[in-house]
Structure 1
Amino acid sequence: MPSSFEDENEGGIEIRTARGRDWPSVRQFNVFLANRMGAMLDLVRRFETTDVRVVSLTVVETADCAIIRLVPSDYERGFEVLTQAKLPFTESDLLLVKLPDNDQPLLTITKALLGGEINLSYAYPLLIGVGPMGNTALAIHVDQFETAVTTLQNQGFTLFTETDLRD
């Protein structure tokens, strides 16, 4: 159920918080690591020695640091792992789109986004199968999140949620 509250100054207008959204998404952590030997191993070990799995990962490297974009199997526990490690990170929303069962799944997804005039900032595959059928999926970051959800759902795409990652 979406979280909301009423503010007397707003005349009873319902305000929904980010956690109360009623559309599918997953949270991605953007972890900032020093570009040094063993930093990635340390990060991965922190997850792999718990029951939290890294289900998707990509690395953006620069001369001074690396940004590790990752999706954990359990958002809350992933947050705890990173906080306890005292690693600097931010969070962002992603869509997890089931790859269509056709010969050109990436083309199909990108054409759908173009049709909705949605800019695809970046994408990367999941390392595990998602949902009860173990479906292959693509994690995507877009400039117009709500529009992308509506566009993809209206065209019959399956979008996964954080609950699907835990199953």
Structure 2
Amino acid sequence: MAVSTAEKLNSPQVRQFSVFLQNKVGALLEVVKLLNERNVVVLALSIQDSSESSIGRMVVSDPDMVVALFEEHEIPFSECEVLVVELPEGAADLAKVLSALLKAEVNIFFSYPLMVRPRGRAVIAMHVDDTECSSSVLAGDGFKTLTQADLSR
């Protein structure tokens, strides 16, 4: 069993992009159109707005293409790893996921649902302080964490 866990943790994790947008009408649409022109699908989206700018957090179908596009078009961005957890019973599983992470003393910095349902199940993206520990604890409680390959199919 340790071998499958090691394989799971070594597979490509999900990359999230934080895009810094001017606070103007249509700024997000411009970015999404650019991605769509290269057949990149936004799988999850969260917007944090302030008076001067916005941050669009997104999970996409082709992270490598996004890096190239953002650099080519000089779009300011950063990226980080997020944990994507499948919720077999939908929203009813949220408390179980949070309880498992609490037992492991894992901090959640932010979270949002995905707009896609791989394998027909609800999924949630979470940026946590310890992805490896979180994946292990959640697997022990019967939850599946998804990789970029699971989302990019």
| TM-score, scaled to structure 1 | 0.81
Partners of 2:68 and 2:44 lie apart in 1 by: 18
Give the structure 1 partner of residue 129 of structure 2.
143
Contact 1:24 1:160 in 2 (8 A): no
Structural RMSD (CA): 1.6
State the shift of 1:101 in Å: 1.9
Give the structure 1 partner of residue 4 of structure 2.
none
Larger radius of gyration: 1
Contact 1:98 1:158 in 2 (8 A): yes
Letter in 1 for 2:97: I
| TM-score, scaled to structure 2 | 0.88
- Cα gap change, 1:75/1:102 in structure 2, threshold over 3 Å: closer, same or farther? closer
- Residue 155 (str. 1) matches residue 128 (str. 2): no
Percent identity, please: 34
Partners of 2:11 and 2:65 lie apart in 1 by: 22
Consecutive unaligned residues in structure 2, runs of 5 or more? 1-8
Which secondary structure state, in structure 1, belongs to the residue aligned with residue 10 of structure 2? coil
Contact 1:61 1:67 in 2 (8 A): yes
Aligned length: 145
State the shift of 1:150 in Å: 1.3
Partners of 1:75 and 1:118 lie apart in 2 by: 26
State the shift of 1:81 in Å: 2.1
- Cα gap change, 1:81/1:134 in structure 2, threshold over 3 Å: closer, same or farther? farther
Runs of 4+ in 1 over 3 A off after TM superposition: none
Give the structure 1 partner of residue 35 of structure 2.
47
Cα deviation, 1:18-65, whole Å, max 9, x if unaligned, reads xxx615620001111111121111111111222110000100111111
Give the structure 1 partner of residue 88 of structure 2.
100
Higher relative contact order (CA 8 A, sep 6+): 2
Partners of 2:110 and 2:46 lie apart in 1 by: 10
Consecutive unaligned residues in structure 1, runs of 5 or more? 1-20
Which secondary structure state, in structure 1, belongs to the residue aligned with residue 150 of structure 2? helix
**Greater helix fraction, Structure 1 or Structure 2:** 2
Partners of 1:127 and 1:147 lie apart in 2 by: 26
Partners of 1:152 and 1:27 lie apart in 2 by: 19
Letter in 1 for 2:35: F
